[in-house]
RNA sequence: UCCCCAGUAGCUCAGUUGGCAGAGCAGAUGGCUGUUAACCAUCGGGUCCGCGGUUCGAGUCCGUGCUGGGGAGCCA
C-alpha cells in the first residue's frame, strides 16, 4: 500500500493508500461524514459512511478536533462532488494527536489576533499561497543572476558601522566594550566582491531600526543585491527591468493557482514586459505638479507621492537622477549635472512603493573620502571601502530589491507583514 | 516621536438619551444518507482592558495608563 501526498492523488485512482496530515475541519450529513485533510501539499476530502465504514473508525472520527494530526487509510475515488475532484473513502484512521481547542476558526479574525498566532496562521491557505509566491520570487531572482554568471557572495550580518548614514541601526554588544551593528545592506561588501568576481549578488536579511509604522515597513526584511564592475547607471536600469520581468514570469508560470486564490489578475502580470517606463526625477515632479501636488525640487518622495506617480503607469516605473542630497554618500553624482545622483528607484504599480533602489557608485577616492566626511561617518570604519578605490578603481553599479515589497505587490497585500513568515515590526517581536 | 481609531464571551462584533449583558461563529448534546466555511434544535460560556472620578445608578460621561490597529516622517 502506497503512502502518498495529496498533490499526487490523481495517480492513485481506485488504489488503497495512506495519507498523513492535519484535520482542517469536519462536516457531516446524516450517515455520511467528511473530514478535510491538509498535508502541506494540498487539501482533500476524506469520506466515511455509516454502515460501510467500521464502527471503530467512526468512533475515532467523532473524537477528532480541528488540527488533530492523523494518518488516514482508504481508497482514492474520483468524484465530482469532492472539492478538487478526488476523495479518499476511509477504511482506517490512526490518530497521532488529538489537538486542543484550536484558536483559529475557519472564520474571520482581527489582525492583532492573527499576528499573535502567526505560527498557526501559516497553516491557512491564504498564507501558504503568499509564502509559496515568496519562494517563487526568490527562486526566479536567484536563477536570473545565476544564469547570467553572477557569483553568490554572502554578506555579513554583523557590521562595524553604518552603510546608510541616515537610517537608524540596531546596535549590539560585541565582546566587551566593542559595538556591532546589524547590517542595513550588503552593498558595500558586494562592491568589494564585484572587484574580485566581476558580477556578484547577495541574498539575506537586513535590519533597520526605523520607528516606521506603515504598511510598507518591517524592521527585518530581505534583499537581493547585485553589484557589477565596469557598469554604469544605464546597465543596472536594464538589469533591474530584466530582473522584474523574470520574477513576474517565474511567478505566473509556477504559482498561477496561488495568484488566483489571492484574487490577482494574471492578465495584468502578463503585460509586465519590457520596456518599462523610465523617467527622471524632474519628470516625476511634473507628474506630481499635474496632479495638483506642490512639491519642492530637492526632496525625496513620500509614500503618498510614490502612489500618485506609480498610478500613472500599468507597469513598474524607473525614476532616475534624484537630487544628490536625498541619496546615500556612496552614490556617484552625474558629471553633467552634479546636483543629481546617478541613481534609480523602481516603483511597483498600485502604490506598493519603492521595490528597487540602486545606482552607480562613487569611484573616485578623493570625492568618496570627502562624501564620507560630509556624511559625518567615521573615516576609520570605511578605510577598507576606500581601498576599493585605491587599488584599481572602476566604474561600478548595483541595486537592492526588497523581497517583501515585491511579494506584497504580486500578492496584492494590504500590508507587507503577510509577505514574510515571521514579520518583525516596531511593536512586534512575537512569535 | 507625532496624529487618528478601537478595546464587551475562545473569535468577530452589536449595545439607542446613563437604567436587567446581547447576536453570529467556535465548544457540548441531539437530529439529518453527498457535505463544500453544510444545515436545524438545545445548552454552557462575561475582571464590559486597568486605575481614578462624576452620578441614586457607568459597558455608555470625564481624566489617566496600557494594549492593538491605521497614518505621518524616514525608507526597501
Q: Quote the ipTM score.
A: 0.84
Residues 6+ apart with CB under 8 A from A69: A20, A21, A22, A95, A96, A97, A99
Residues A46, A144, single domain; the answer is no
Residues A286, A193, single domain; the answer is yes
How much is the pLDDT for A51?
A: 85
**Torsion-angle region of A85 (φ positive above 0: left; ψ -120 to 50: alpha; else: beta):** left
Say which CATH number the domain at A12 has. Answer: 2.40.50.140
CA of A309 to C1' of B43 (A): 59
Which nucleotide is at minimal CA–C1' distance from A213? B71
Which nucleotide is at minimal CA–C1' distance from A352? B76
Please name every residue paired with A138 in a beta bridge, in sequence order, or none if there are none. none
CA of A213 to C1' of B14 (A): 30
Which nucleotide is at minimal CA–C1' distance from A427? B68
How much is the pLDDT for A379?
A: 81
How much is the pLDDT for A200?
A: 98
CA of A110 to C1' of B56 (A): 40
What domain range includes position A376? Answer: 118-419
A214-218: long-range contacts, CB 8 A cutoff, minimum separation 24: A214/A303, A215/A414, A215/A415, A215/A416, A216/A303, A216/A352, A216/A353, A216/A405, A216/A408, A216/A416, A217/A416, A217/A425, A217/A426, A218/A404, A218/A416, A218/A417, A218/A420, A218/A423, A218/A424, A218/A425
Please name every residue paired with A318 in a beta bridge, in sequence order, or none if there are none. A278, A346
Asked whether residue A283 is assigned to any structural domain, the reply reads yes
**Can you tell me which residue has the cell 501539499?**
A41
Q: Which three cell numbers stand for residue A48?
A: 466515511
Q: Give the bases of strand B that a protein CB approaches within 7 Å.
A: 1-2, 10-13, 24-28, 31-39, 67-76
CA of A30 to C1' of B32 (A): 5
Residues A271, A390, single domain; the answer is yes
Residues A220, A351, single domain; the answer is yes
Asked whether residue A286 is assigned to any structural domain, the reply reads yes
Number of domains in chain A: 2
How much is the pLDDT for A163?
A: 53
Asked whether residue A367 is assigned to any structural domain, the reply reads yes
Residues A40, A149, single domain; the answer is no
Q: DSSP state, A361?
A: B
Output the CA angle A388-A336-A167, nearest 5 degrees: 50
How much is the pLDDT for A162?
A: 58
Say which CATH number the domain at A371 has. Answer: 3.30.930.10
Which nucleotide is at minimal CA–C1' distance from A106? B37
CA of A55 to C1' of B13 (A): 41
Q: Could you tell me whether strands A333-334 and A337-341 are parallel, antiparallel, or unpaired per DSSP bridges?
A: antiparallel
A329-366: b (≥16 Cβ within 10 Å) or e: bbbbbbeeeeebbbbbbbbbbebbbbbbbbbbbbbeee
How much is the pLDDT for A332?
A: 96
Question: Given A39, A63, A97, which residue is the final one in a domain?
Answer: A97
Cβ(A170)–Cβ(A207) below 8 Å? yes
Residue-wise pLDDT tens digits, A302-350: 888 888 898 889 899 999 999 998 888 899 999 999 999 999 999 998 8
Asked whether residue A105 is assigned to any structural domain, the reply reads no
Asked whether residue A231 is assigned to any structural domain, the reply reads yes
Asked whether residue A75 is assigned to any structural domain, the reply reads yes
Which nucleotide is at minimal CA–C1' distance from A103? B10
Which nucleotide is at minimal CA–C1' distance from A80? B34
A191-210: b (≥16 Cβ within 10 Å) or e: bbbbbebbbbbbbebbbbeb
Which nucleotide is at minimal CA–C1' distance from A299? B74
CA of A90 to C1' of B51 (A): 58
Residues A361, A305, single domain; the answer is yes
CA of A53 to C1' of B42 (A): 29
How much is the pLDDT for A385?
A: 93
Q: DSSP state, A349?
A: G
pLDDT-flagged residues of chain A (< 70): 162-167
How much is the pLDDT for A166?
A: 45
How much is the pLDDT for A167?
A: 54
CA of A392 to C1' of B24 (A): 71
Output the CA angle A293-A295-A297, nearest 5 degrees: 150
How much is the pLDDT for A214?
A: 83
CA of A113 to C1' of B35 (A): 30
Residues A171, A93, single domain; the answer is no
Amino acid at each position: 500500500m502506497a503512502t502518498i501526498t495529496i498533490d499526487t492523488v490523481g495517480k492513485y485512482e481506485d488504489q488503497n493508500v495512506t495519507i498523513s496530515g492535519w484535520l482542517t475541519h469536519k462536516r457531516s450529513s446524516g450517515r455520511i461524514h467528511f473530514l478535510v485533510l491538509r498535508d502541506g501539499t494540498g487539501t482533500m476530502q476524506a469520506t466515511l459512511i455509516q454502515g460501510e465504514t467500521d464502527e471503530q473508525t467512526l468512533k475515532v472520527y467523532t473524537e477528532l478536533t480541528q488540527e488533530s494530526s492523523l494518518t488516514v487509510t482508504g481508497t482514492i475515488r474520483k468524484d465530482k462532488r469532492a472539492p478538487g475532484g478526488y476523495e479518499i473513502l476511509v477504511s482506517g484512521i490512526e490518530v497521532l494527536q488529538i489537538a486542543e481547542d484550536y484558536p483559529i476558526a475557519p472564520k474571520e479574525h482581527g489582525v492583532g489576533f492573527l499576528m499573535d498566532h502567526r505560527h498557526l496562521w501559516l497553516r491557512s491557505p491564504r498564507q501558504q499561497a503568499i509564502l509559496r509566491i515568496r519562494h517563487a520570487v526568490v527562486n526566479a531572482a536567484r536563477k536570473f543572476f545565476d544564469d547570467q554568471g553572477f557569483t553568490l557572495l554572502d554578506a555579513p550580518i554583523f557590521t562595524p558601522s553604518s552603510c546608510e548614514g541616515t537610517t537608524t541601526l540596531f546596535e549590539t554588544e560585541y565582546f566587551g566594550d566593542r559595538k556591532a551593528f546589524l547590517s542595513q545592506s550588503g552593498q558595500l561588501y558586494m562592491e568589494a566582491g564585484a572587484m574580485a568576481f566581476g558580477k556578484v549578488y547577495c541574498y539575506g536579511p537586513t535590519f533597520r531600526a526605523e520607528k516606521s509604522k506603515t504598511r510598507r515597513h518591517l524592521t527585518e526584511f530581505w534583499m537581493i543585491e547585485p553589484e557589477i564592475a565596469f557598469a554604469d547607471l544605464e546597465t543596472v536600469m536594464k538589469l533591474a527591468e530584466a530582473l522584474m520581468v523574470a520574477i513576474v514570469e517565474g511567478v505566473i508560470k509556477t504559482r498561477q493557482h496561488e495568484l488566483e486564490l489571492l484574487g490577482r489578475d494574471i492578465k495584468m502580470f502578463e503585460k509586465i514586459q519590457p520596456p518599462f517606463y523610465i523617467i527622471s526625477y524632474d519628470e516625476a515632479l511634473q507628474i506630481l505638479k499635474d496632479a495638483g501636488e506642490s512639491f519642492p525640487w530637492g526632496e525625496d518622495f513620500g509614500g503618498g507621492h510614490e502612489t500618485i506617480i506609480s498610478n500613472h503607469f500599468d507597469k513598474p516605473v524607473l525614476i532616475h537622477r534624484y537630487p544628490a542630497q536625498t541619496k546615500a554618500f556612496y552614490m556617484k553624482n552625474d558629471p553633467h549635472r552634479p546636483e543629481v545622483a546617478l541613481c534609480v528607484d523602481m516603483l511597483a504599480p498600485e502604490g506598493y512603493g519603492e521595490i528597487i533602489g540602486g545606482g552607480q557608485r562613487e569611484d573616485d577616492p578623493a570625492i568618496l573620502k570627502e562624501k564620507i566626511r560630509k556624511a559625518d561617518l567615521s573615516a576609520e570604519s570605511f578605510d577598507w571601502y576606500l581601498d576599493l578605490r585605491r587599488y584599481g578603481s572602476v566604474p561600478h553599479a548595483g541595486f537592492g530589491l526588497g523581497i517583501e515589497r515585491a511579494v506584497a505587490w504580486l500578492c496584492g497585500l494590504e500590508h507587507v507583514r503577510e509577505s514574510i513568515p515571521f514579520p518583525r515590526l516596531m511593536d512586534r517581536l512575537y512569535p
